[in-house]
């Protein structure tokens, strides 16, 4: 195998890893969405397992976010900047931060 083919195969393996990472991250986002939805839909009949599932799915997604950082797809600095922006938007447009 010549050097060019070696680098092409190495690049393909890296792309396969990134595709897998992004795919699993999407799946975990969907699972967290589903856990949130169930808590809303079954609010009157909520079980400890439902809350535990929310915790589990949030943890799984945070794991994937950490892996995105480890693979240099996102950075802590940009995430922290974005958190500040989102919190400010929520303060303006939601009731999550109202001082009652």
Would residue 93 count as lying in a domain? no
What's the structural domain count of the chain?
1
Would residue 35 count as lying in a domain? yes
0.85 surpassed by pTM: no
Q: Which residue has the tokens 């999550």?
A: 96
Would residue 10 count as lying in a domain? yes
Would residue 36 count as lying in a domain? yes
Would residue 17 count as lying in a domain? yes
Would residue 86 count as lying in a domain? no
pLDDT in tens, 9-63: 877 887 789 999 999 999 999 999 999 999 999 888 888 899 999 999 999 999 9
Q: Which two tokens stand for residue 46?
A: 């909520």
Would residue 54 count as lying in a domain? yes
Q: Rounded CA gap, 58 and 36, in Å? A: 10
Q: In terms of Cα–Cα distance, which of 55, 50, 53 is closest to 39?
A: 50
Would residue 98 count as lying in a domain? no
Q: Which two tokens stand for residue 37?
A: 């939805």
Which residues span the domain enclosing 62?
3-74
């Amino acid at each position: 195998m010549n050097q060019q083919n070696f680098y092409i195969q190495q690049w393909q393996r890296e792309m396969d890893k990134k595709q897998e990472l992004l795919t699993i991250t999407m799946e975990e986002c969907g699972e967290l969405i589903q856990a949130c939805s169930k808590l809303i839909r079954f609010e009157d009949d909520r079980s400890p397992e439902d809350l535990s599932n929310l915790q589990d799915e949030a943890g799984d997604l945070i794991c994937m976010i950490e892996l995105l950082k480890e693979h240099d797809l996102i950075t802590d600095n940009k995430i922290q900047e974005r958190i500040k922006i989102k919190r400010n938007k929520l303060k303006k447009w939601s009731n999550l931060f109202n001082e009652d």
